[in-house]
Amino acid sequence: MPYITTADGAEIFYKDWGSGQPVLFSHGWPLNGDAWDVEMKLVADHGFRAIAHDRRGHGRSSQTWTGNDMDTYAADLAALVEALDLRDLILVGHSTGGGEVVRYAARHGGDRVAGIVTAGAVPPIMVKSDANPEGTPLEAFDGIRAGVLGDRSAFYQELSAAFFGTNREGSTISQGQRDQFWRQGMQVGLAGAYDCVKAFSETDFTSDLQALTVPVLLAHGDDDQIVPIAAAALKSVELVPNATLKVYPGAPHGIAGPYQQAFDADLLAFITA
């Protein structure tokens, strides 16, 4: 299996399908690159090179004790991009991955990046504060950390309901989809899973968003129970100079079912424009 080795010795697993203009996918917490398989096949079938990595601590990558923070995640992504010498690159990030690609593009991307797509992304900042009253209270993230430290198998099973919106009337998301979320979650190292909560909830991406100059598509479901749209995409679109906001009525956080079908169509339209 292909890996690259970072400056601190972490091994980052990646998948590389197809050929053509590169499209690099960054996954959400607590998932791994497999979360993007449908989209990877979609873009590869349409003449693009699809790449997805497992963030450090997640999936098949090294379970490091240190470096489970957004700056290091972005540096790891830079190491992957440079190792593969990717140019004219389109970045796609979901949830935590949306933050990762934004920070990478702003701080490391230079002239390599041609466009960015985020879905249910965590920027500008998730945690509630006086400056961000629409955010999620810190106590909610403390609850996630407690769930990870406690019975994390049961916690991931329960979390999948809000993640995919199966707790909403009319949901068509299968138990199998929820089981896949649990399976990927159980592959995360405990230290990485715990530390990543702070990384995705307390990192402020405001200056990163303002630094972006390439076209950006901000996709978000308006019934996202994990990353509420009011503190995320609705604010990000005001900060990014060249951004388009696409709101999916009734869509949850997890990219599945009707939301996935609509998002994939918009993703393909964006990268082929």
Tokens linked to 93: 């990030």
> Residue with structure tokens 């100079």?
241
In order of 64, 85, 141, the CA distances from 244 in angstroms are: 36, 28, 29
> Is-catalytic flag, 253?
yes
Instruction: Given the residues 26, 61, 62, 95, select the one marked as catalytic.
Output: 95
Tell me which of 27, 53, 58, 253 is the catalytic residue: 253
Q: Are 93 and 31 in contact (CB under 8 A)?
A: no
Give yes or no: 224 in active site: yes
Q: Reply yes or no on whether 62 is catalytic.
A: no
Q: What is the DSSP code (8-state) at residue 253?
A: S
Strands (E), the chain: 3-5, 11-18, 22-26, 49-53, 89-94, 113-119, 216-221, 243-248
- The set of residues, in sequence order, having a beta carbon less than 8 Å from that of 131 and lying 6+ positions away, is none
- The answer to whether residues 117 and 90 touch, using CB atoms and an 8 Å cutoff, is yes
Q: Taking the CB of residue 149, how many other CB atoms lie within 10 A of it?
A: 12
**Active-site residue, selected from the candidate residues 54, 76, 195, 224:** 224
Q: How far is CA 188 from CA 30, 64, 254, in A?
A: 7, 11, 18
Find out whether 244 and 215 touch, Cβ atoms under 8 Å.
yes
Pairing between β-strand 113-119 and β-strand 49-53 as defined by DSSP bridges: unpaired
* Residues annotated catalytic, as ranges: 95, 224, 253
